[in-house]
Structure 1
Amino acid sequence: MKSPIQNEVGAIFVPVKDIEKARDWYCDLLSVPTEEDFPGGHLYVLPMKHARVVLDSKIYSEEAVFKATAFHFNTADIEAAYTYMKEKGIDVVSDIQFGHFFNFKDPDGNLLMIRKC
């Protein structure tokens, strides 16, 4: 039997403590408009081009926060992305590695990555 599971990611859930604060931070980071829609009062789906990133305050706990990078955001210019993050005062936790990526933390402590693609 051929697998009925599609070869694509539908959504990535990110545990966040305060849904409105997280929405504002991520929308600012990605320069996308914010909306007031919070399904169930605890979810916010970021307007992304491919896989959705869903901020979820219902699953938040200090233990649920990503301690290893679960996904990365793409960039065509890694140096400009690094400078942008530093200028915004974001917790950048590594230098640019191998000319291709660096790690940072969101306000809830989730470890994420920016990668040159």
Structure 2
Amino acid sequence: MSSKLNDPSVGQSPLKNKIGSVFLPVRDIGQAREWYSRILGFNPADAEIIAGHLCPLPMEGTGLILDTMPMWGGAEEGGAPSISTPAFMFLTDDLEASYKFMQENDVTLVTEIMYEQWFVIQDPDGNKLMVAKE
């Protein structure tokens, strides 16, 4: 089976083969910024809240933006829907230490360490997030 990505008869896409940022739905932007700063180890003051609903986090590589998503259900009762299946992963060099850190910080653990490779946590907004060995 041939891939259309390598087919010279298919025109070039103007899109880059690169993810700029991932948006994460949250209900309270200030509380979410505090929680993520604690688990990722940055100063909350280094993550500016923009327009009352966006908060780009200081990340290496692909960006992560907390967003109350007023245009996508955030203005409705209950807010925008949480991500119920991990859509991205945080990387770690020490999976066991990361798991213990989450336990010590009262982070909701969805799974135990699986296959010695990853585990899943849940943020206060119900988003499921994977932590994986790099």
- 1:15 equivalent in alignment to 2:21: no
Cα distance between partner residues in 2 of 1:22 and 1:41: 13
Identity percentage of aligned residues: 37
Q: Is there any run of 5+ residues in structure 1 with no aligned partner, and where? A: none
Q: Is there any run of 5+ residues in structure 2 with no aligned partner, and where? A: 1-10
Report the CA distance shift for 1:113/1:49 in structure 2 as closer, same or farther (over 3 A): same
- TM-score of the superposed pair, with normalisation by structure 1: 0.93
- TM-score of the superposed pair, with normalisation by structure 2: 0.82
Residue in 2 that maps onto 1:24: 34
- 1:49 equivalent in alignment to 2:60: yes
Residue in 2 that maps onto 1:110: 127
Q: For the aligned residues, what is the CA RMSD?
A: 1.4
**Whose radius of gyration is greater, 1 or 2?**
2
Report the CA distance shift for 1:41/1:62 in structure 2 as closer, same or farther (over 3 A): closer
Whether contact under 8 Å (2:26, 2:80) holds in the other structure is no
Q: How many residues are treated as equivalent by the alignment?
A: 117
Cα distance between partner residues in 2 of 1:62 and 1:42: 12
SS in structure 2 at match of 1:39? coil
**Aligned structure 1 segments of 4 or more residues deviating by more than 2 angstroms:** 58-63
What is the CA deviation profile of residues 35-80 of structure 1, one whole-angstrom value per residue up to 9, with x for unaligned ones? 2622211000000011111000134446610010011100011111
Higher RCO, Cα 8 Å, sep 6+? 1
